[in-house]
Amino acid sequence: MKKQKVIQLVAVALLFLSALNMGAQAEFAQHMITDNFMQGYDVIAVDINRDGYPDIVAAAKATTGEVSWWRNNGFNEFEKTIIKQGFSGARGVRAADINGDTEIDIVAAGWLANKILYFENDGSENFTEHIVDNNFKGAHTVDLRDVNNDGYLDILCSGFDYYGHQGEIVWWENDGQDSVSWTKHLISDRFQQSPFIFGEDMDNDGDLDIVACGELNDEIVWWQNDGNQNFGSGIVVDNNFNAAHTVIARDVDQDGDMDILGAACMSSKIAWYENDGSQNFTKHSLPNFGGALWLDAIDLDNDGDKDLFGAGMTAPSLAWWENDGEQNFTKANIGGSFGQGFCVVPVMMDSDNDYDLVAIGKATNKISWFENKLEDPNPYNHPECCVYDYANERWLISNTGGTENPGYILEVDNEGNTSMFKSNIDAPLGMCIAENTLYVSDAKNGVLGFDLDTSEELFFMDFNPIGNMDGQAYDNDGHLFVVDTYGRIYKIYLEENYKTYFVLTGLTAYTQDIVFDEENNRLLAIGYATNAPIQAISLEDSSITNYPTSFSYYDGITMDQYGNVYLASHQSPGRVIKYFPGFDGSHEIVSTGHDEPAGLHYNTENDTLAVPNYGGSTVDFIPMETTSIGKLKKDVNEWLDIYPNPFHDVLKISMKKPCGDLSVALFNLMGQQVFHAILNQEDTQMNMQFIPSGIYIVKIKSDGLSEIKKIIKQQ
């Protein structure tokens, strides 16, 4: 998992739904957390370390059974920690405070190990393993509920006895002591194989009832709690739900009582069962959903009613069913391909007032979260190149739209407001501004030109590239240079409207981008290759001079007003590197943690570096300070600590070794300075109560050292 000092900074954006064809219907973008969690079965989203950000906990067949959690660093970047390996048949996992110490513990079930384990969190996310039951046949799905209303969470588990067909429905009573002891209570043994159990007050009498299903006898049953945890023989909801696999209780029709949602894997059936208030259930079947393993309900489109969402073992993607308010449901797929989904759960991952989803896929070995675009749609879709329009004080950003959507160009003003400049371009890549015209490389089609004031198309030149038409540079003398990523550069005579080859051989494989170095009357080019050099190309005779670099896989190049050159590298963790004039090898890492950084651009008017993250569909605006040649930046970990991060009101700085006065500046996402101080103590703290909550960049300088770090202010 990548580490970072500066991570993706999502530019503040206004909604422009009509321009991007985003309507009121929820749309989802998939963000992969891992594709290496082998044969995953169960996943939950919960704030394990209580830092305000949802983490991920999952169980999988991996390494003969594994339970792990992924820490969310606040930017929806995740780092994995293994809790338990060798837990045969790890199948179900839930998390909550089990022992009343306010820390989030984890409970897991292993159906081949026939065990239920409780992992106690010591507050620093070190987990101590305790056995709840080491002989519960086919321990499958767990639920954590206060069954007896004593203030302590008990454990429910269903027994999927694959071999002996003697599955049980059981709850284990928590005795409430610091060192928890458990007492087993049988609810039912009617099912031979029970894959799922769920606790909920089904009859509104204030105590917890139980819902479960049997896969072999095709039943959905609920057990009524009489208030003393006597559950009786169970009440059948459906005895003809073929291969019932999952049951969840939700108030689907919002009439004040709990309905039941069911999914049946082997028969692909899904249905919801309407509770009339007297626990008489009416079955409402939906069209088959391939290998249905999960069906749940929540309001995904913020229209006030409960929508459905689910995962299927043979379905090519997750799905959701929009509720029209009368419990008529219309199906739509979610977020692209996601095969053999086993479980999907709702969570507000990005705190934008709409529900996102987290899912686990067995065959794909993936855990992904699916960003709901409803409330705060991301205006970016695979951004490729940024340029700054000085005359109109705005950024222009090309977006390819991915593989399924047309590309477009956004404009972003200095306050972060976003609107459409030009839509329906096939695949806009590199861009350049020349004489009040925005020139755009349209991949396989040619070069376009748009009036900066009206966005009207003024120019088109057809090309037949071997690669893609990409990076551009203007020489301020009527000539536009454009890269063919196959390894060629064209020269376009704009006034005469014709083109010639400028460079045919000698370029790095997969040359991506170029920039005009006016002082030296040359182009500088970079390529997507291992240890690709900076290539200086004379405008006099097209001769090429190579300058070695220390990194690889470059996708963007730009310059500041002092001749420093900035390269965007995909080499993990995606980074921006600054090379000093003269190219003697002197360089510094400006930032890391970018997701496929592409055609970056330096705004010399306010010293802001814009970095489009093609893979992450974000754009980073990084405030910079430039000098011609200076000392190399040292790793911040060598000389200071900045903590806590996230912080609330106080931000602390601790020096690890003596140095001069510290200059500390805080910038918002658009590069605007909101705080500055000069500090002269080795250990100090700054009161930030007046700073609104949000994401900021802190820049620290002292005696030639400098560091850029991303921090979060919480409420």
Q: Do 101 and 123 meet the contact criterion of CB atoms below 8 Å apart?
A: yes
What is the Cα–Cα distance from 450 to 507, expressed in whole angstroms? 29
Residues 681-706: what's their mean pLDDT? 75
Which pair of structure tokens corresponds to residue 435?
């004489």
Q: Is the pLDDT of residue 121 over 70?
A: yes
What is the average pLDDT across 325-330?
96
Q: What is the pLDDT of residue 356?
A: 94
Q: Which segment of 96-100, 352-356, 458-462, 682-686 scores lowest on mean pLDDT?
A: 682-686
pLDDT tens digits, one per residue of 183-207: 999 999 999 899 999 999 999 999 9
**What mean pLDDT do residues 603-624 have?**
90
Q: pLDDT tens, 378-406?
A: 788 999 999 999 999 999 999 998 776 78
pLDDT at 678: 83
What SS3 string covers 116-181?
A: EEEEEECCCCCEEEEEEECCCCCEEEEEEECCCCCCCCEEEEEEECCCCCCCCEEEEEECCCCCCC
Asked if 592 and 4 count as a contact pair (C-beta separation under 8 A), the reply is yes
Is residue 223 a contact partner of residue 201, using CB atoms and an 8 Å limit? Answer: no
Inform me whether the pLDDT recorded for 82 exceeds 50. Answer: yes
Encoded amino acid at 210, one letter: I
**Angstrom distance (rounded) from CA 93 to CA 68:** 10
Nearest residue to 142 via CA among 100, 182, 82: 182
Nearest Cα to Cα of residue 496 among 531, 532, 465, 459: 459
pLDDT value of residue 463: 92
Please say if the pLDDT value at position 516 is more than 70. yes
Question: DSSP character for 454?
Answer: T
- What would the two tokens of residue 161 be? 């006895």
Q: Are 389 and 452 in contact (CB under 8 A)?
A: yes
DSSP β-ladder status, 683-687 and 366-372: unpaired
Q: What confidence score (pLDDT) does residue 2 get?
A: 27
- In SS3 terms, 655-666 reads as ECCCCCCEEEEE
The length of the chain is 715
Other beta carbons less than 10 A from residue 516's beta carbon: 21
**Which stretch of 142-151, 381-390, 396-405, 458-467 has the lowest confidence by average pLDDT?**
396-405
Q: Which CATH class is domain 640-713?
A: mainly beta
Q: What percent of the chain has pLDDT above 90?
A: 69
Cα four-point dihedral sign 196, 199, 202, 203: positive
Given this model, what pLDDT does residue 96 score? 95
- What average pLDDT does the segment 515-544 reach? 95
Give percent above pLDDT 70 in the chain: 91
Asked whether the predicted pLDDT for residue 256 surpasses 90, the reply is yes
Note whether 60 and 38 are within 8 A (CB): yes
Pick the CATH number of 383-623 from 3.20.20.370, 2.120.10.30, 3.40.50.300, 3.40.50.720: 2.120.10.30
Inform me whether the pLDDT recorded for 301 exceeds 80: yes
Closest Cα partner for 17 from 376, 327, 298, 369?
376
Residue in the structure block whose two tokens are 């056995």: 131
Query: Using one digit for the tens of pLDDT, what is the confidence trace for 472-511?
Result: 999 999 999 999 999 999 999 999 999 999 999 999 989 9
What was the pLDDT predicted at 634?
Answer: 36
Q: What would the two tokens of residue 679 be? A: 């500090």
CA distance 102 to 315: 39
Read off the pLDDT of each residue in 205-213 and give the average, rounded to a whole number. 97
**640-713: same fold as 28-372?**
no
Residue-range domain boundaries for the chain? 28-372, 383-623, 640-713
486 DSSP 8-state letter: T
Confidence of residue 1 (pLDDT cuts 50, 70, 90): very low
What b/e sequence results for 361-392 when a residue is b if at least 16 CB atoms lie within 10 Å of its CB, and e otherwise? Answer: bbebbbbbbbbbbbbbbbbbbbbbbbbbbeee
> In the prediction, which pLDDT does 635 show?
40
pTM for the whole structure: 0.58
DSSP assignment letter at 1: -
The closest of 504, 563, 500, 574 to 534, measured between CA atoms, is: 563
Residue listed under structure tokens 């009339």: 276
Select the CATH number that applies to the domain covering 28-372 from these four: 2.130.10.130, 3.30.70.270, 3.30.360.10, 2.40.10.480: 2.130.10.130
CA 313 to CA 468: how far, in whole Å?
38
Is the backbone peptide bond immediately before 573 cis, with ω within 30 degrees of 0? yes
Identify whether the C-beta of residue 225 lies closer than 8 Å to the C-beta of residue 255: no
The first and second tokens of residue 560, run together, are: 């500041």
d(CA 552, CA 523): 19
H-helix or E-strand spanning residue 471: strand 469-474
Q: How confident is the model at residue 376 (pLDDT cuts 50, 70, 90)?
A: low
pLDDT at 506: 93
pLDDT of amino acid 19: 36
